């Protein structure tokens, strides 16, 4: 068993980005700039935002974090997004999810201009991604692809099973890995909460690659996968004792895997790295550098 080390891969990708940025800034351009909006107080979001700001620093980007009160109305938030959409000094905009329940999340995603949508959640980017066109690809799914690529994991022709169909992880990764991309051409089965358990087991037990994003600690057990599987654990679950674990029963399953992501230090790090790649792309688009 070998670890798919998201920290190592992310550091390598961010080092490449910072080299490019140094070149651009050296030629007289401003730094790439990421703006993050954080609404209210939510402990996991605080830690995600912190790691995005820190990664911006390592990539040579400028960043600013806009904190808005929990009580902000949807109209006020949409107004703030409109201001940033029109600000030529910002290349990429993230509205950290989840949002308070009185705000419609999809309205907020739709309000971000696709040109600054570095999370890749806007329907225009999602649609372009699905069609195989140039797009900001949803960051977690893109991060998984970059991690598989970094470790030269064969994907073409492989049987991949995705567990979980969220718009931010399961759905996009199933499309991306089945697309005719450089990182793709797998045969993908997308499973979800309505997949009958025997069918789920049939699928996972013969899969070459399993990607799990369900948010249930220990969901993938040793009997669910075959010997030599490549296992990507997207879950981030906070236990009562403060530990963070994934969706895989790591202690009992890891020995069966050829490759497995740790939690933490796996996909989470790659999500942030993919945001850096997307922000650089937004910046290069802005300055016609590509």
Catalytic positions are: 52, 96, 119
Among 81, 183, 268, 275, binds ligand NAD (CB under 6 A): 268
User: By C-beta, is 93 or 270 nearer to ligand NAD?
Assistant: 270
Q: Does residue 224 belong to the site contacting ligand NAD (CB under 6 A)?
A: no
- Sign of the alpha-carbon torsion through 182, 234, 271, 9: negative
Question: Which helix (H) or strand (E) covers residue 93, if one does?
Answer: strand 92-95
Work out how close the CB of 87 gets to ligand NAD at its nearest, in angstroms, rounded to a whole number.
27
Look at the alpha carbons of 87, 91, 95, 96 in this order and tell me if their dihedral is positive or negative. negative
**Among 166, 185, 187, 258, which residue sits at the site for ligand NAD (rule: CB under 6 A)?**
166
Residue (164 or 286) nearer to ligand NAD, CB: 164
**At residue 190, what are phi and psi to the nearest 5 degrees?**
-100, 120
172 near ligand NAD, judged by CB under 6 A: no
> Which one, 159 or 192, has the nearer CB to ligand NAD?
192
How far is residue 47's CA from residue 53's CA, in Å, rounded to a whole number?
10
Contact yes or no for 186/159 (Cβ under 8 A)? yes
128 φ, ψ (degrees, to nearest 5): -65, -45
Residue of 7, 20, 159, 192 interacting with ligand NAD (CB under 6 A): 192
With contacts defined by CB under 6 A, how many residues of the chain interact with ligand NAD?
A: 22
Question: Among residues 253, 21, 25, 12, which one has the least CA distance to residue 149?
Answer: 12
Interface residues with ligand NAD (CB under 6 A) are: 140, 163-166, 168-170, 191-193, 195, 213-215, 234-237, 267-268, 271
């Amino acid at each position: 068993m070998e670890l798919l080390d998201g920290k190592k891969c992310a550091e390598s990708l961010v080092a490449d980005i910072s080299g490019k940025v140094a070149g651009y800034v050296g030629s007289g351009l401003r730094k790439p700039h990421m703006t993050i909006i954080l609404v209210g107080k939510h402990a996991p979001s605080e830690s995600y935002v912190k790691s995005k700001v820190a990664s911006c620093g390592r990539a040579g980007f400028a960043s600013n974090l806009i904190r808005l009160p929990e009580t902000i109305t949807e109209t006020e938030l949409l107004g703030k997004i409109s201001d940033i959409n029109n600000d030529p000094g910002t290349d990429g905009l993230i509205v950290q999810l989840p949002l308070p329940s009185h705000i419609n999340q999809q309205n907020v995603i739709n309000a971000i201009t696709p040109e600054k949508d570095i999370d890749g959640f806007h329907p225009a980017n999602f649609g372009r991604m699905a069609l195989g066109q140039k797009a900001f690809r949803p960051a977690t799914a893109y991060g998984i692809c970059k991690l598989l690529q970094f470790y030269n994991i064969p994907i073409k022709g492989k049987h991949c099973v995705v567990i979980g169909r969220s718009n931010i992880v399961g759905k996009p990764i199933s499309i991306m890995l089945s697309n005719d991309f450089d990182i793709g051409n797998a045969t993908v089965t997308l499973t979800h909460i309505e997949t009958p358990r025997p069918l789920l087991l049939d699928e996972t037990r013969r899969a070459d690659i399993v990607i799990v994003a369900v948010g249930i600690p220990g969901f993938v057990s040793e009997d669910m996968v075959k010997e030599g599987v490549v296992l990507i654990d997207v879950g981030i679950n906070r236990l009562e004792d403060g530990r963070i674990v994934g969706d895989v029963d790591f202690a009992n399953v890891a020995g069966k895997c050829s490759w497995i992501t740790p939690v933490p230090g796996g996909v989470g790090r790659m999500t942030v790295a993919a945001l850096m790649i997307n922000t650089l792309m937004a910046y290069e688009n802005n300055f016609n550098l590509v």
